[in-house]
Amino acid sequence: MDHGIIGPAIRQGRQEGELIILRRLIGKRFGTLPAWADERLAKLSPPELEQLSDRVLDAKSIDELFSK
In 3D, which of 38, 40, 45 has the Cα closest to residue 15? 45
Q: What is the pLDDT of residue 3?
A: 62
Where are the chain's structural domains?
7-66
Q: What is the pLDDT of residue 5?
A: 73
Does 1 score more than 70 pLDDT? Answer: no
| pLDDT tens, position by position, 20-54 | 999 999 999 999 999 999 999 999 988 899 899 99
Q: Give, as one character, the DSSP assignment of residue 46.
A: H
Residue 22 CB contacts under 8 Å (≥ 6 apart), including other chains: 41, 49, 52, 53, 56
CA distance 33 to 9: 27
Res. 11 pLDDT band, cuts 50 70 90? confident
